[in-house]
A and B are shown apart, each in its own frame.
Chain A
Amino acid sequence: MNGPLHGLRVIEYADERGCYAGKLMADMGAEVIKVEPPQGDPTRQFEPFLDDVPGPERSLYFWHYNTNKQSVVLDLDTDSGRDAFRALLTTADFLVESMPPGYMAERNLDEPDVRPLNGALVYISITPFGRDMPSAHDHATDISIMSRGGITWMNGYDDHSLPPVRGGGNQAYHTGAHYAFMSGLVALLHRDRTGEGQHIDVSMNAAANVTNEAGSYTWLVAQDTVQRQTGRHAAVRPSMPSQVQCADGRWANTGVPPRKPAEFSRIHDWLAEAGLLDDFAEAPLLQLGAERERIDLSRLSEDEELQAIFGAGRNAMTHIASQLTAYEFFTGAQERGFQVGIIYSPEEVLDDPHFKERGWPVELEHPEHGRSFTYPGAPYRFEKTPWSLRKRAPYLGEDTERVLASLGEASAGNAASGAPSTSR
């Protein structure tokens, strides 16, 4: 079965800021041709490397972000390279580029320059601030976008002598790429109906700014400022801790503590089943909670017994967690209807029974290494047009000859400067 973007051609001229948009398209069936400068995309030099041995074909970062893509080497600083790039755009449905503002225009490859070649082209530009913004030429990287865009302000610890924390994994790049892809799809639907292409200006700073949840709307609506807290929502008024360390040293998020009579009953039973009831002095309060006809949280401030019951519910969760492994606590709580989450490290999902049963870890062949490697799997499951990993990230320039030949002799010429790499 083909993906929903089967039959669409994407030209990608994007570094770490835009390559995820190309991957999202490629994994859903689009033919993505990654155009790289003769020295290769900069992310080929990013750690981690396979077996820690550097090399342009060994970056696991590059592997992840460039699955299912082809690689064509073109030097956009030469006439022949630009000619071939234009020829490629003539055949394309999308261009995804993440060059600094002005870069494409200086090479006569900006949207107005290429529009006469292909009226249906969706031309997507991903830049840190948007192309015409006051700070368009400011320097930016993931941590600066996350900071200027408000995200680091909300991540961190109760102890404000510790710095705000960037979420790991270059998420500001991801967020820009998500919006590039979403808006590219809107443009595709517009084109399905009208035949008309267009230009899309994606601002990573704006994308971070509108991916702030309560941080933004608390200010927009009430002019209040949220303050960061350990492992839970930044808030105007401090809230109760929500992370517990379990018996195996791993952490879990305790989610929403018991609030309904039936929930107090269930946590009391869980303590009993786990043989922990005798160690837990507040157990009678849980029974009081279970015996109440209903619990009205809006009366919490005037009902002292209810406060004690509520506190006992939280303490019971913490107590159970401290006696079980994080996985036992997670599954035990969820089986009893409590929204608890184990705090996995990124690789631990590979061994999780749920992720395994749904086929999330995916094996991808690397013929040159005579083996497959395990990759992150599908972010969504389409019944008829599934996500798929079909091919490992391309070696530098491995598709140059074939792709340029397909454009016709006239435009192929000497477009590729530098021979396609065969090194590993």
Chain B
Amino acid sequence: MGQQALSHIRICDFTGQLAGAGATKFLAAFGAEVIRIEDPLNEGRWDILRGMPPYKPGQQGLDHGGAFNNHNVNKLGITLNLRTPEAKEVLRKLVAVSDVVTENFAAGVLDRMGFGYEELKKIRPDIIYVSNCGFGHSGPYVNYKTWGPIVQAVSGLTFSSGLPDQPPAGWGYSYMDHTGAYYMAMAILMALHHRNVTGEGQWVDLACTEAGAALNGPAVLDYSANGRPTRREGQPHANHSDWPAMAPHNIYPADGDDEWVAIACRDDDEWKALAGVIGERWTRDPRFDRLTGRREWQDELDRNIANWTASRGKFEIAEACQAAGLPAAAVNKPEERIDHDPNTEAWGLWPTVQQSAMGDVRVDGIPVHMSQSDWSMERGGPCLGEHNEQVLVDLLGYEQADVERFRQGGVL
């Protein structure tokens, strides 16, 4: 692909895992030159996803981690042993030609490596520095460590994902690693725009718990304005909907092992439509005619609907409800939405990239299409040190002999 929206942007990238790497993956998909820096002494394993399963059948190893590849598509990768003065010099040269420095270390780590924000500014006065960690770079918890599930716990997202009289169900994945990466990408892009306008760089301190806690805004206001906490009898009920008020609104069992279907009625007319689809006598109970009654008798309503759904296929139910104008959907398993949903296929949502060790492998694409500067993904995540020569020689002007010397000397 020729000129892309961000192909004039270079990022000196210390990020890893998903919370950081996901951000620079998004930018790389739009053409940004992202150069990942990894520590050769621990084989880049600060990013615990490097070399971790899932693997393609018959493969395993440092350069074969499926998650690592997924989050590092289109990036270049170099190794730098920053304990050595030569590596520090290489990094200084790289920062000098970079627009942005990104990291998601624990607070203070980059500083201790000798490349805190004040140092970065000395190398390049208009540098943009975006740090990303659970609790940010100030405050009583500045030294606390997190990963996605901890961020979700503290920010209220784990609590609000649950059913009454049960422990928190939480999120069965690191929602806040994805979403922390989204906020990091926003921060980088906004800082770049500001630099375009004014010429000045800046530091953005992203604390994922703060981004996460803002994702339950109405609940926070219900407490601060009405004094009503979410921690109360009968709450949370994440499969019901109070905001906006809908009933029925739940996930119901369908025919088969662990098969489920989500059904919601947004208003009284949609309830009438659902009653028509179900066609059983109980649906004509006048208690259910209006939203207030359906909310008051919601548990009974849910039991009746579950009795009806339990003997029917989830796709058959969803289709019948959709035909009647209702927002219903099967709870899709990974295979069903990845390999059998015509929408994800038509979108091109799972592009195949070529990774040097893994070969062809499918990855998460981007859920937007842009008419003038769309994304593309071709190259898989870098093997450890895969682009050492390309970056040092072609970009930073070192001689081939320097690279060889650095290799021998434990610099790369």
Query: In the complex, which residue of chain B has the Cβ closest to the Cβ of A185?
Result: B189
Question: Given A133-B346, A347-B219, do A156 and B169 touch, yes or no (CB 8 Å)?
Answer: yes
Which chain A residues border B249 with CB–CB below 8 Å? 143
CA distance A377 to B211 in the complex (A): 9
**In the complex the two chains form, is B66's CB within 8 Å of A139's CB?**
no
CB–CB B217/A376 < 8 A:
yes
Min C-beta distance of A421 to chain B, whole Å: 20
State whether A334 and B145 are in contact (beta carbons under 8 Å apart), knowing that A47-B242, A218-B334, A220-B66 are contacts in the complex: yes
Distance between Cα atoms of A148 and B331 in the complex (Å) = 5
Asked whether A220 lies within 8 Å of B229 as measured between CB atoms, the reply is: no
Q: Choose among B194, B229, B251 the residue that contacts A347 (Cβ–Cβ < 8 A).
A: B229
CB pair B204 A381 closer than 8 Å: yes
Interface secondary structure of B, over-half rule: mixed
Contact B338 A48 (CB under 8 A): no
Q: Is the CB of B171 within 8 A of A209?
A: no
Tell me, in angstroms, the Cα distance from A304 to B172 when the chains sit together: 30
Interface bin, chain A: 35 or more
Residues facing A in B59-79 (CB within 8 A) are: 66-67, 69-70
Q: Is the beta-carbon distance between B223 and A134 smaller than 8 angstroms?
A: no
Bound Cα distance from A207 to B179, whole angstroms: 11
Q: Is A375 an interface residue (CB 8 A)?
A: yes
Does residue A324 face the partner (Cβ distance < 8 Å to B)? no
A299 interfacial contact with B, CB 8 Å: no
| Most chain B CB atoms below 10 A, which of A48, A207, A225 | A48
**In the bound complex, do residue A201 and residue B369 qualify as a contact, i.e. CB atoms below 8 Å apart?**
yes
Q: A150-B334, A231-B168 are in contact. Are A50 and B226 (CB under 8 A)?
A: yes
Chain B hits for A196, CB < 8 A: 372
A46, A65, A234, A349: the one contacting B244 at CB < 8 Å is A46
The answer to whether B56 touches A51 (Cβ under 8 A) is no
Stretch at the interface among B86-94, B319-327, B401-409: B319-327
CB of A169 within 8 Å of the partner chain = yes
Residues of A with C-beta under 8 A to B174? 213, 233
With A and B bound together, what is the CA distance between A245 and B168 in angstroms?
10
Cβ-based interface call for B277 (8 A): no
Give B376 Cβ to nearest chain A Cβ, in Å: 13
**Residue B15 is within 8 A (CB to CB) of chain A in the complex:** no
> In whole angstroms, what is the CA distance A342 to B87 when docked?
40
A85 to chain B, nearest CB (A): 21
Task: Evaluate contact between A167 and B156: CB separation under 8 angstroms.
Answer: no
User: Contacts A206-B349, A341-B154 hold; do A255 and B147 have CB atoms under 8 A apart?
Assistant: yes
Which residues of chain A are near B350, meaning CB under 8 Å? 220
User: In the docked arrangement, what's the CA distance between A354 and B185, Å?
Assistant: 24
B313 to chain A, nearest CB (A): 15
**B315 CB, min distance to chain A CBs, angstroms:** 11
**Contact of A217 with B66 at beta-carbon distance under 8 Å, contacts A163-B260, A165-B169 already known:** yes
Tell me which residues across on chain B come within 8 A of A243, comparing CB atoms.
167-168, 170
Complex Cα distance, B160 from A385, in Å, reads 32
Q: Which one of A144, A149, A234 lies within 8 Å of B337 (CB-CB)? A: A149
Contact B56 A347 (CB under 8 A): no
**B225 and A220: CB pair below 8 A?**
no
Interface string of B322-356 (1 = CB under 8 A from A): 10011111111111011101111011011000000
Q: Is the CB of A203 within 8 A of B347?
A: yes
* Residue of A4, A138, A223, A375 most packed against chain B (CB within 10 A): A4
Is B222 in contact with A219, judged by CB distance below 8 angstroms?
A: no
Inter-chain contacts of B41 with A (CB < 8 A): none
Query: Does chain A have a CB within 8 A of B190?
Result: yes
Q: Is B210 on the interface with A (CB-CB < 8 A)?
A: yes
Knowing A167-B160, A213-B173, A353-B140, the reply to whether A47 touches B244 (Cβ < 8 A) is yes
Question: Do residues A143 and B244 form an inter-chain contact, with CB atoms below 8 A?
Answer: no
In angstroms, Cα B156 to Cα A346, docked, is 4
Task: Digitize A219-261: 1 where CB-to-B-CB distance is under 8 Å, 0 elsewhere.
Answer: 1111111101111111000000011010000011101100000
Q: Is the CB of A193 within 8 A of B216?
A: no
A225-B211 in contact given A130-B369, A340-B150 (Cβ < 8 Å)? no
Q: Given that A150-B334, A222-B55 are contacting pairs, would A380 and B186 also be in contact in the complex, using a CB cutoff of 8 Å?
A: yes
- Chain B residues near A60 (CB, 8 Å)? 218, 221-222, 225-226
Shortest Cβ gap from A373 to chain B (Å): 5
Contact assessment for B220 and A346 in the assembled complex, using a CB-CB cutoff below 8 Å: yes
Quote the shortest CB–CB distance from A112 to chain B (angstroms). Answer: 10
Q: Check B260 against A345 for contact (C-beta < 8 Å).
A: no
Contact yes or no, A230 B169, CB < 8 A: yes
> B254-278: which have CB < 8 Å to A?
258, 260-262, 264, 266
Cα-based distance from A155 to B163 in the complex (angstroms): 11
Contact B141 A334 (CB under 8 A): yes
- Residues from chain A with Cβ under 8 Å of B266 in the complex: 141
Asked whether, in the complex, the Cβ of A169 is within 8 Å of the Cβ of B343, the reply is no
Q: List residues 68-115 of chain A with CB under 8 A from any CB of chain B.
A: 111
Q: List 14 A-B contacts (CB under 8 A).
A: A4-B193, A64-B218, A143-B329, A144-B327, A155-B170, A160-B258, A178-B179, A190-B5, A220-B338, A253-B150, A341-B146, A360-B210, A379-B214, A380-B207
List 6 tightest A-B contacts by C-beta distance, closest first: A168-B160, A154-B172, A206-B367, A341-B153, A221-B66, A347-B223
Q: Other than the known A209-B349, A256-B147, what 18 A-B pairs have Cβ atoms closer than 8 Å?
A: A4-B194, A60-B226, A143-B241, A147-B260, A147-B261, A153-B332, A163-B251, A171-B175, A189-B9, A206-B349, A219-B334, A220-B338, A230-B170, A255-B149, A344-B155, A346-B220, A376-B220, A382-B191
